[in-house]
Amino acid sequence: SQTIHQWPATLVQPVGSPLSLECTVEGTSNPNLYWYRQAAGRGLQLLFYSVGIGQISSEVPQNLSASRPQDRQFILSSKKLLLSDSGFYLCAWRGQGPDNQPQHFGDGTRLSIL
Amino acid sequence: AQSVTQLGSHVSVSEGALVLLRCNYSSSVPPYLFWYVQYPNQGLQLLLKYTTGATLVKGINGFEAEFKKSETSFHLTKPSAHMSDAAEYFCAVSLIQGAQKLVFGQGTRLTINP
């Protein structure tokens, strides 16, 4: 069966520090991969998605970047964190093919910027 | 453009009462529709989905939803609320062709009163 792992689960970082959040998927190949951010009391905002290695689509201009160095690995990064980067970050995957397939989510990373 | 509207950011019902969470969508083509549930500090879990066929869809935990094309709605219901149903619920829509991503509603927080 397929599983998705995100780490770390929680992270406290100072303003201006770098960031790297990692997401890996097991049990499937060539998945679509997604990064979302959920600010306190707000809905989900799609940040990036990827349909293949090295293919990244950015949904909103921001202080973050994403990379997909391997088929089942998706990394969210920042060179200098801002206070506004605080939030709950969720990674998700979906199988290739028609859009009637649901996305499957990891357990998220709670990021607090001090 | 697609959009999803969840009426009511907060819904409160008594234990044992009917749960009704509303979702309306706008799409230029027949959509695929999903409901997800999110418990505190966790990722999203798929409750149910509509793709094609029967318009009444049954999901996990006793939830069901009915796709009504004429009303562009996909409301989520459960006949009898349980304390464990307290969570945030998200409706999402996907284009049939090639969008590769979901559009989420803003979410509805469900509170169950004893």
Query: How do residues B2-18 score in pLDDT, each as one tens digit?
Result: 689 999 999 999 999 99
Please give the Cα distance from A36 to A8 (Å, whole number): 15
B43 to A108: CB separation less than 8 angstroms, yes or no: yes
Q: How far is C-alpha A86 from the chain's CA centre?
A: 14
How do beta strands A73-78 and A19-26 pair?
antiparallel
Mean pLDDT of B17-39: 91
* Residue of B91, B95, B86, B76 lying closest to B114 (CA atoms): B86
pLDDT reading at B45 higher than 60: yes
Query: How do residues B50-75 score in pLDDT, each as one tens digit?
Result: 988 889 999 999 999 999 999 999 99
Provide, as residue numbers in chain A, all residues whose Cβ is less than 8 Å from the Cβ of B45: 105
Q: How many CA atoms lie within 13 A of B89 on its CB side?
A: 32
B46 to A51: CB separation less than 8 angstroms, yes or no: no
Per-residue confidence at B97, pLDDT binned at 50, 70, 90? low
Partner residue facing A107 (CB), from B43, B52, B105 = B43
pLDDT for residue B99: 66
**Does B102 reach chain A within 8 Å, measured CB to CB?**
yes
Partner residue facing A105 (CB), from B43, B95, B106 = B43
Partner residue facing B51 (CB), from A46, A100, A104 = A100
A100 to B94: CB separation less than 8 angstroms, yes or no: yes
SS3 state of residue B3 = strand
Question: Within chain A, which residues score under 50 in pLDDT?
Answer: none
In DSSP notation, B31-82 reads PEEEEEEE-TTS-EEEEEEE-SS-SEEE-GGG-EEEEEGGGTEEEEEESS--
pLDDT reading at B104 higher than 80: yes
**Tokens found for residue B92:** 């999402």
